[in-house]
């Protein structure tokens, strides 16, 4: 008898084990039974540690990548970020009157204070922002499954594993490299961080709002609401892509919460009103205000040559490219040579529009027909709406100079990745009896996809490792576009000055070749003519250099670089008055140009106008205390003056 009892116990345990398996032998169940407490499934700490590890591996080779492209104008040449005190005073004394991208530039000012021109520190901050955003994607999914419509969902028991793969895929996808490794695109990643943070604070407030709360609970609820408002403000003062936060909150409220719509929206009114922050910031701008009075069209465009319709038609094609990059991230490019489309009925544009419309209506279909029976599918609808709404700021009817940039997908990609992960786990739940959709198969497949994407990100970061490899890659992919050739020629020239090796002649010849290619592709490229002149100077081809500088000035009379370079040639040839004329022209536009003051000082020195020369050298040294040459000339002039006094005595 005792043996029989033991045998029965074993059978019961076995049956319980079968019952607990959420994807197997459950023919008569509507909802999966509780997943066994496997470490991998429900351990949030483990999930976050794995995301951290994956992000570190994917970006481990990016921390020493050069400043490049717009980094130069916004960081290395931007004197405003060198005064952190100014930014802090503005935050303390004028918190409601901050500039449109204040918090992005504030982080750059902190970087400059700590790291000056050491690129590692800037990349570290970008890395930490991306890592934090990836963890917020995880948190977003976890909290979403606590909302009224989803807490009884069939996928509720999978919420943390879905959150893990959503955060992981976002973290290691190579389309994010431009927003992470390209330092200045911190504005996109930082705005996305605050964007997600505001949504999560809103959800936390809304979940607490469900219950009657008093005392500390009420304070906690109101505190989350306040944090949501602050996060929205910070997002909108980082980058304009945050304009859509109030709309996303409204859609989230309507999809995932219950109750009287009017009462719910009334409580959201302060959050909804934040949509005015960005328009008011632009209107407060003195320049934009002047434009707006005369031409309202100018206030809502960033590029005046492309018509709104042409830009919109082209964006239908661009969105297809973005979607292709999400699912097949190959042939990534920093500077696409993308065609401009002029007709909606162009076959490529029309088919793209139909495809995008189908995706949008798929989201509507899931919302309308599956809200009650499969509420977890609402997340797919939300992800689709998120994609279209967040991408609309830069891919709709507001013309921007560049038609396509990969960093513009940083925020919208969250919606697509979440929708993808929910879709995969929904298939696993619906077709659990087939191995291809089994729990194990889904986990293995998503792990393999994550590893492939992580490897692709690591390899893409190799391209970003230095300016030469980056622009050689762009030239290879956009051979008929002038700008990549110009930028490659410029980095060849910079490399020539930095390295004194036998490799130099190769760099110089290649620089000349690239500048000539840029001019052939765009005969109105003033910068290419100017840098070609610089290369000819090094070659000793003075007459060709003068021709290049004059061609640059003909195209762009206010090109201060070309004016300065021409002045230097005149100075070298002994045409002192012409040189002085050039330097004075520069100082008229940029009185704080230390190099122009120094060169003007040399010109006066050569004319033996020592008092004027001394004044210019002193000004140059004041503007740039590290200018040793200016100090040497000052010492030389003081010595000469003292010697003259002794002689007179």
DSSP 544-595: HHHHHHHHHHHH-TT-HHHHHHHHHHHHHTT-HHHHHHHHHHHHHH-TT-HH
Q: Cβ distance 61 to 465 under 8 Å?
A: yes
Burial of 408 (0-12, 13-18, 19+ CB in 10 A): buried
Distance separating the N- and C-terminal Cα atoms of the chain: 130
Q: Cβ distance 603 to 579 under 8 Å?
A: yes
Distance CA 130, CA 176 (A): 9
Residue 391: per-residue pLDDT: 98
Q: Cβ distance 534 to 523 under 8 Å?
A: no
Distance CA 19, CA 25 (A): 8
Distance CA 471, CA 162 (A): 38
DSSP output for 442-458: HHHHHHHHHHHHHHHHH
Distance CA 432, CA 364 (A): 26
Six token digits for residue 299? 């206030």
Q: Cβ distance 439 to 180 under 8 Å?
A: no
Residue 639: per-residue pLDDT: 75
Residue 267: per-residue pLDDT: 94
Burial of 219 (0-12, 13-18, 19+ CB in 10 A): exposed
Residue 24: per-residue pLDDT: 39
pTM of the model: 0.88
Rg (C-alpha) for the chain, rounded Å, is 31
Residue 480: per-residue pLDDT: 97
Find, among 403, 107, 104, the residue nearest to 239 by Cα: 104
- Residue ranges of E strands in 95-184: none
Query: Cβ contacts of residue 551 below 8 Å, gap of 6+?
Result: 529
Residue 510: per-residue pLDDT: 96
Q: How far is CA 69 from CA 178, 179, 182, 461, 464, in A?
A: 12, 13, 9, 16, 12
Q: Cβ distance 549 to 569 under 8 Å?
A: yes
CB atoms within 10 A of CB 299: 15
Residues of the chain with pLDDT under 50: 1-37, 286, 288-296, 298-300, 648-649
Secondary structure of 199-254 in HEC code, one letter for each residue: HHHHHHHHHHHCCCCCHHHHHHHHHHHHHHHHHHHHHHCCCHHHHHHHHHHHHHHH
Residue 429: per-residue pLDDT: 79
Burial of 496 (0-12, 13-18, 19+ CB in 10 A): buried
Classify the C-alpha dihedral 599-602-606-608 as positive or negative. positive
User: What is the Cβ-side half-sphere exposure of residue 568, based on CA atoms within 13 angstroms?
Assistant: 17
């Amino acid at each position: 008898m005792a043996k029989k009892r033991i045998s029965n116990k074993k059978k019961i345990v076995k049956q319980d084990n079968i019952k607990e398996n959420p994807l197997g032998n459950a023919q008569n169940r509507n909802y999966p039974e509780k997943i066994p407490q496997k470490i991998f499934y429900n351990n949030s700490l483990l999930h976050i540690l794995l995301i951290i590890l994956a992000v570190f591996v994917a970006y481990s080779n990016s921390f020493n990548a050069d400043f490049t492209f717009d980094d130069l104008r916004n960081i290395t040449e931007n004197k405003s970020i060198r005064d952190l005190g100014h930014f802090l005073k503005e935050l303390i004394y004028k918190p409601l009157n901050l500039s449109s991208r204040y918090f992005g530039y504030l982080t750059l000012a902190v970087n400059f204070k700590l790291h000056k021109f050491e690129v590692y520190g800037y990349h570290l901050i970008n890395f930490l922002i991306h890592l934090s955003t990836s963890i917020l994607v995880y948190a977003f999914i976890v909290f979403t499954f606590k909302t009224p419509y989803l807490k009884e969902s069939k996928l509720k028991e999978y919420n943390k594993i879905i959150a893990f793969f959503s955060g992981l895929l976002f973290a290691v996808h190579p389309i994010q490299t431009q927003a992470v490794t390209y330092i200045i695109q911190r504005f996109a990643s930082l705005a996305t961080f605050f964007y997600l943070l505001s949504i999560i604070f809103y959800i936390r407030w809304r979940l607490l709002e469900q219950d009657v709360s008093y005392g500390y609970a009420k304070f906690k609820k109101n505190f989350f609401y306040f944090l949501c408002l602050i996060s929205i403000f910070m997002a909108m003062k980082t980058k304009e892509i945050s304009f859509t936060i109030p709309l996303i909150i409204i859609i989230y409220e309507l999809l995932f919460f219950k109750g009287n719509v009017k009462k719910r929206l009334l409580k959201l009114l302060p959050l909804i009103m934040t949509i005015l922050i960005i328009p008011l910031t632009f209107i407060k701008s003195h320049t934009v205000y002047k434009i707006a009075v005369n031409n309202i069209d100018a206030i809502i465009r960033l590029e005046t040559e492309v018509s709104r319709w042409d830009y919109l038609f082209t964006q239908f094609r661009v969105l297809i490219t973005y979607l292709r990059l999400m699912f097949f991230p190959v042939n990534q490019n920093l500077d696409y040579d993308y065609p401009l489309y002029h007709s909606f009925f162009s076959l490529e544009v029309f088919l793209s529009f139909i495809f995008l419309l189908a995706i949008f209506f798929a989201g509507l279909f899931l919302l309308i027909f599956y809200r009650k029976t499969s509420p977890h599918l609402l997340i797919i609808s939300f992800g689709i709406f998120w994609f279209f709404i967040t991408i609309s700021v830069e891919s709709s009817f507001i013309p921007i100079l560049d038609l396509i940039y990969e960093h513009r997908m940083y925020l919208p990609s969250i919606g697509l990745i979440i929708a993808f992960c929910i879709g995969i786990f929904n298939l696993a739940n619906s077709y659990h009896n087939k191995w291809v959709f089994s729990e194990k198969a889904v986990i293995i497949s998503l792990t393999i996809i994550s590893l492939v994407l992580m490897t692709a990100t690591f390899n893409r970061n190799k391209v970003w490792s230095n300016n030469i490899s980056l622009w050689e890659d762009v030239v290879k992919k956009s051979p008929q576009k002038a700008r990549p050739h110009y930028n490659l020629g410029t980095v060849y020239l910079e490399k020539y000055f930095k390295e004194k090796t036998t490799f130099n002649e190769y760099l110089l010849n290649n620089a000349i070749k690239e500048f000539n290619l840029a001019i052939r592709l765009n005969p109105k490229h003033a910068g290419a003519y100017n840098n070609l002149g610089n290369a000819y100077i090094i070659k000793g081809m003075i007459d060709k250099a003068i021709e290049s500088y004059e061609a640059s000035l003909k195209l762009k009379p206010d090109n201060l670089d070309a004016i300065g370079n021409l002045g230097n040639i005149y100075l070298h040839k002994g045409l002192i008055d012409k040189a002085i004329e050039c330097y004075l022209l520069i100082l008229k536009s940029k009185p704080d140009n230390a190099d122009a003051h120094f060169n003007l000082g040399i010109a006066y020195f050569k004319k033996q106008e020592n008092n004027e020369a001394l004044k210019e050298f002193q000004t140059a040294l004041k503007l740039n205390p590290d200018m040793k040459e200016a100090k040497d000339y000052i010492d030389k002039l003081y010595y000469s003056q003292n010697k003259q006094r002794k002689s007179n005595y």
